[in-house]
C-alpha cells in the first residue's frame, strides 16, 4: 500500500488521531516552531547567496590589466 492510496478519508482519520494524541495546543506550538525554522532557513540561504554575489561582484569590478592601469 503506497501513500497515493490514502485518499481524503484516510487523511482526515490521521488528522483526528494526531489531534487526539497531541492536543490542539501542542500541534499549534509545533507548527509555530516549524514556521520559525523555515523562516530562519530561508534567511540563511538568502544571506549566503548575497554574500557569494557580493564576493563575485568585488572580484569582477576591475578587469583592467595591471599594465594598462597607469595609462589613464
31-44 pLDDT, tens digit per residue, is 899 999 999 999 99
Q: Minimum mean pLDDT among 21-25, 27-31, 33-37, 63-67: which range?
A: 63-67
Q: Give dist(CA 31, CA 38) in Å, integer.
A: 10
Q: Give dist(CA 58, CA 38) in Å, integer.
A: 30
Local confidence band at 70 (pLDDT 50, 70, 90 cut-offs): low
What is the dihedral sign for C-alpha 50, 51, 55, 61? positive
* Contact yes or no for 18/27 (Cβ under 8 A): yes
Amino acid at each position: 500500500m503506497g501513500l497515493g492510496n490514502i485518499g481524503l478519508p484516510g487523511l482526515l482519520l490521521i488528522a483526528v488521531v494526531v489531534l487526539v494524541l497531541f492536543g490542539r495546543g501542542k500541534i499549534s506550538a509545533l507548527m509555530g516552531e516549524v514556521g520559525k525554522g523555515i523562516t530562519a532557513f530561508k534567511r540563511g540561504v538568502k544571506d549566503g547567496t548575497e554574500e557569494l554575489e557580493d564576493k563575485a561582484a568585488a572580484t569582477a569590478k576591475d578587469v583592467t590589466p595591471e599594465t594598462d592601469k597607469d595609462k589613464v
